[in-house]
């Protein structure tokens, strides 16, 4: 029988079970997603967590339809972090990805310290993701920036490339923003996986 007093608590352990944990993916992958409209962000966070993203940055892209108003940030972050917590539990991860919010592309670019910085850009025609990651040694950390439904504003492209981000393409098809986030997470996890 459990007992609770002002200064102490007595509990009875009913069951102890070991849960095998899936090792985190290497390198540490940050998915940086311009805020998509509707519940698409939920899908990005859930599936990205299941596929091994280390953490997430959401930001207000100039062409993002969805917005986070002043005063809403804490509630949104709490909800988004709850999604990654639940997805971590379901996928038996050892770690829970953290979700951060930045107001703009400039804030993201200036704060990025990852050793490999990629920018998924629908207008990139020269550098494929495959070529770039095959030319590089395995980095310690990677950040991938994904634009909103309306794509990146030209000034955002300049901001990111000016801070060392490499524009890459995933191919000829234009993917939905949430599909691009899920695809890049799976591709990079597979590329650097030991399996």
Helix (H, G, I), strand (E, B) or coil at 178: helix
Mean pLDDT estimate for the chain = 87
Average pLDDT over residues 104-114: 94
Domains of the chain: 29-192 (3.40.1280.10)
pLDDT at 25: 46
pLDDT at 114: 94
129: Cβ contacts below 8 Å, ≥ 6 apart: 118, 120, 168, 169, 170, 184, 187
Average pLDDT over residues 72-87: 88
Are 176 and 120 contacting, i.e. CB atoms less than 8 angstroms apart? no
Please tell me the least confidently modeled range out of 8-22, 72-86, 135-149.
Answer: 8-22
Average pLDDT over residues 77-102: 92
Closest CA to 149 of 32, 83, 91, 62: 62
Q: How confident is the model at residue 10 (pLDDT cuts 50, 70, 90)?
A: confident
Element (H, E) at 63: none
Q: pLDDT per residue over 115-173, tens digit each?
A: 999 999 999 989 999 999 998 788 999 999 999 988 899 999 999 999 999 999 998 89
**64-68, 71-75, 128-132, range with greatest mean pLDDT:** 128-132
pLDDT at 183: 96
Helix axes 73-90, 40-51, angle to 10 degrees: 40
Average pLDDT over residues 12-39: 76
């Amino acid at each position: 029988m459990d007992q609770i007093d002002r200064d102490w608590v007595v509990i009875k352990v009913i069951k102890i079970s070991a849960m095998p944990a899936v090792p985190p993916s290497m390198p540490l992958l940050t998915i940086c997603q311009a805020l998509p409209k509707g519940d698409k962000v939920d899908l990005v966070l859930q599936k990205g967590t299941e596929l091994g993203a280390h953490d997430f940055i959401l930001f207000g892209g100039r062409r993002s339809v969805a917005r986070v108003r002043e005063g809403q940030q804490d509630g949104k972050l709490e909800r988004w972090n709850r999604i990654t917590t639940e997805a971590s539990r379901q996928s038996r991860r050892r770690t829970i990805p953290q979700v951060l919010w930045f107001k703009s592309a400039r804030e993201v670019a200036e704060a990025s310290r990852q050793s490999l910085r990629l920018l998924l850009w629908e207008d990139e025609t020269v550098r494929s993701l495959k070529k770039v990651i095959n030319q590089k040694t395995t980095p310690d950390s990677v950040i991938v920036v994904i634009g909103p439904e309306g794509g990146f504003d030209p000034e955002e492209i300049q901001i990111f490339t000016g801070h060392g981000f490499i524009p890459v393409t995933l191919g000829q098809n234009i993917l939905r923003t949430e599909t691009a986030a899920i695809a890049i997470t799976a591709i990079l996890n597979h590329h650097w996986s030991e399996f």
